């Protein structure tokens, strides 16, 4: 498990993980998560699951830093 931060106006670029799923718990902020099938808004308290091999991107469009917990589950 890691505690991640995303600076204002930035993003975790389009990426995926082979052999590992990732769970994201949003601690602070409002932004969006992009999957191959669409874009989904998030706010503090929301949880997203990124299955192994699935591309995704996390965007912070605000003027404040966002915070997350990430849990990685290896296959």
Please name the residue that has the structure tokens 């601690």: 27
Between the alpha carbon of residue 7 and those of residues 13, 39, 54, 57, 64, the distances in Å are 13, 20, 24, 14, 7
From first CA to last CA, the distance across the chain in angstroms is: 15
pLDDT of 75 over the 90 cut: no
Residue 41: both structure tokens together:
């808004």
Q: Is the dihedral of CA 37, 25, 21, 8 positive or negative?
A: positive
pLDDT tens digits for 2-22? 999 999 999 999 999 999 999
CATH for 2-63 is: 2.60.120.10
Average pLDDT value for the chain: 97
């Amino acid at each position: 498990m890691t505690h991640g931060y995303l600076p204002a106006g930035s993003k975790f670029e389009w990426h995926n993980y082979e052999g590992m799923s990732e769970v994201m718990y949003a601690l602070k902020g409002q932004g969006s998560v992009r999957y191959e099938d669409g874009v989904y808004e998030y706010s503090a308290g929301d949880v997203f699951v990124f299955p192994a091999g699935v591309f995704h991107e996390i965007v912070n469009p605000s003027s404040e830093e966002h915070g997350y917990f990430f849990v990685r589950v290896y296959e």
